């Protein structure tokens, strides 16, 4: 029941950890957590855009009454949301550029006997391309729903200045659904973080079965 595993010599990871597939699993979990945080932020911005669109009901209704097509209004509102997302991505890149000098100082000092990661936080084409793609996708994602809802408004009530109605059959307005989504995802992330901290505390208090104090590890 013996087997042999091969890893590239240039792989800066302890061979046992590399063969177990721990690094891709950990990276995937971190990307999943980041995606959930991004989803919460998108729901928050979409809710703010819905509130802003409600304040522009008469303007949008006037454009529709003057002959603007629904697709033209959707494109305009999507352009505004994409520009907002690109501005957020640009600010994020500036923060990353500022934090690159601080992160290596806080990185753990590990050698090849455990894990020897190359902490390279420099910005390259892949990071810039990923940031651009993420900004464009999130801009379309959180801007599409407000754009569709604004372009489908009732012209008569909007031009008369009546308060927007949610419709007789819609029990849950979209803004309420977005708020519930934000709370649910945030609660899930907080519970996951609490369980992670609890597991770390248990791991530190675990009895390894031998005396671990006043010991020296050397290679």
Q: Which residues touch 166 (CB under 8 Å, ≥6 apart)?
A: 173
Instruction: Report which of 26, 202, 12, 30 is spatially closest to residue 113, judged by C-alpha positions.
Output: 12
* pLDDT on residue 152: 67
In residues, how long is the chain?
219
How far is 28 from 23, CA to CA, in rounded Å?
8
Query: pLDDT below 50 — which residues of the chain?
Result: 166-168
Question: pLDDT value at position 131?
Answer: 87
Closest CA to 176 of 168, 80, 184: 184
- pLDDT value of residue 176: 82
Structure tokens at 74: 């959707």
Q: Look at residue 19 in the predicted model and tell me its pLDDT.
A: 78
Q: What is the pLDDT of residue 113?
A: 54
Within a 10 A sphere around the Cβ of 177, how many other Cβ atoms? 13
C-alpha radius of gyration, the chain, whole number? 25
User: Comparing C-alpha atoms, which of 97, 83, 93 is closest to residue 45?
Assistant: 83
Rounded to whole angstroms, the Cα distance separating 13 from 17 reads 7
């Amino acid at each position: 029941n013996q087997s042999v595993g091969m890893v590239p010599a240039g792989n800066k990871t302890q061979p046992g950890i590399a063969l177990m597939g721990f690094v891709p699993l950990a990276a995937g979990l971190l990307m999943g957590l980041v995606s959930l945080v991004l989803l919460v932020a998108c729901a928050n911005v979409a809710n703010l855009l819905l509130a802003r669109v409600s304040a522009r009901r008469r303007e949008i209704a006037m454009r529709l009454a003057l002959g603007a097509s629904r697709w033209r209004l959707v494109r305009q509102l999507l352009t505004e949301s994409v520009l907002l997302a690109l501005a957020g991505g640009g600010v994020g890149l500036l923060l990353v550029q500022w934090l690159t000098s601080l992160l290596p100082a806080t990185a753990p000092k590990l050698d090849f006997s455990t894990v020897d990661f190359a902490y390279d936080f420099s910005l390259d084409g892949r990071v810039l391309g990923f940031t651009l793609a993420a900004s464009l996708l999130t801009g379309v994602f959180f801007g599409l729903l407000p754009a569709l809802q604004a372009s489908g408004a009732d012209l008569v009530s909007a031009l008369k200045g009546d308060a927007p109605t949610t419709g007789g059959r819609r029990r849950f307005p979209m803004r309420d659904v977005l708020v519930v989504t934000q709370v649910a995802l945030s609660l899930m992330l907080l519970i996951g973080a609490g369980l992670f901290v609890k597991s770390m505390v248990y791991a530190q208090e675990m009895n390894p079965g031998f005396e671990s104090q006043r010991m020296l590890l050397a290679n």
